[in-house]
Amino acid sequence: MGNLCWVTIGGSLAMIACGSVDSVSDANSDVMTDADAHVCDPTKPFADVRQLGGVNSSDDEGSPTFSADELTIYYFSNRQSPGTPDFDAYVATRATRDESFGLPAPVAAVNTSMDERGGSLAADGLSLFFYSLRLNGYDLYVSSRTNIAASFGAPTSLSTLNTNDYDQDPFITADSQFLYFTRTPSTGVSAIYRASTGPTGFGNVVAVTELNSGNATSPVLSADGMIIYFSSDRLGSAGSLAWISRVGRQPNGLEGDARR
């Protein structure tokens, strides 16, 4: 079995192994050994969808984001308020990639009685971006810490980015130079925006117009910044965000044509 990716299926976090060639893992385990990882064939279909051990509950879980070494997972769950849209942030850790995650704990500084969702952990592990319904509709926030052994501090509103519209789905690039996010105005048509970091924080907010045909949400960039994945209804899906698209960056720096 090959490397793992994590998705949300039916309100639970699940993992999928890519391109199995010679599976040597226990089919009933969510553990992946280094011996497994080197046989991944990316030309083969994904397989073996399983719940991610240690983090799921009987309630809803989603929006996982991982530390660079994949030993820490942050995600969001409504287990404290079952059946409601009130999600909170949780964290779980493991000693090695070969082990299941341990019991999750709430990220106390992030959580409120309102809804928190959509985390994106910076590559250095020192900033956790998310959005929350706590002041003016959904707005973007960041919680920071001085080192990865410390707890995250009280969140700060990204006031230079937030508007009277819904600002959601933050994704921080691998170099922490850009923050992509979704903005949904009262018209209900969502679009993807990009902000760049500067001496006083994030600014220079621009719409990524080449992506914004119909509704466009949930941007995720590859580590090298050359491909962006996002949800869109541009291909026609009865109004739902059923399409995952990928866009390669052109030599002029703009995102290219969206493809399914």
Higher pLDDT: 233 or 79? It is: 79
CA–CA gap between residue 131 and residue 183 (Å, rounded): 11
Residue 86 lies in a domain: no
Q: Considering only CA atoms, which of 72, 70, 71, 73 is closest in space to residue 62?
A: 73
pLDDT digits (tens, 9 = 90+) for 200-227: 899 999 999 988 888 899 999 988 888 8
Give pLDDT, residue 36. 43
Q: Residue 155: pLDDT above 60?
A: yes
Q: Residue 9: pLDDT above 60?
A: no
CA–CA gap between residue 185 and residue 135 (Å, rounded): 16
Give pLDDT, residue 105. 95
Q: pTM (2 decimals)?
A: 0.79
Give pLDDT, residue 20. 47
Residue 70 lies in a domain: no
Residue 58 lies in a domain: no
Q: What's the structural domain count of the chain?
A: 1
Residue 148 lies in a domain: no
Q: Residue 143: pLDDT above 80?
A: yes
Residue with tokens 């291909």: 235
Q: Residue 114: pLDDT above 60?
A: yes
Element spanning 36, H or E = helix 34-37
Q: Residue 8: pLDDT above 80?
A: no
Residue 106 lies in a domain: no
Q: Residue 69: pLDDT above 60?
A: yes
Residue 181, domain extent: 158-260
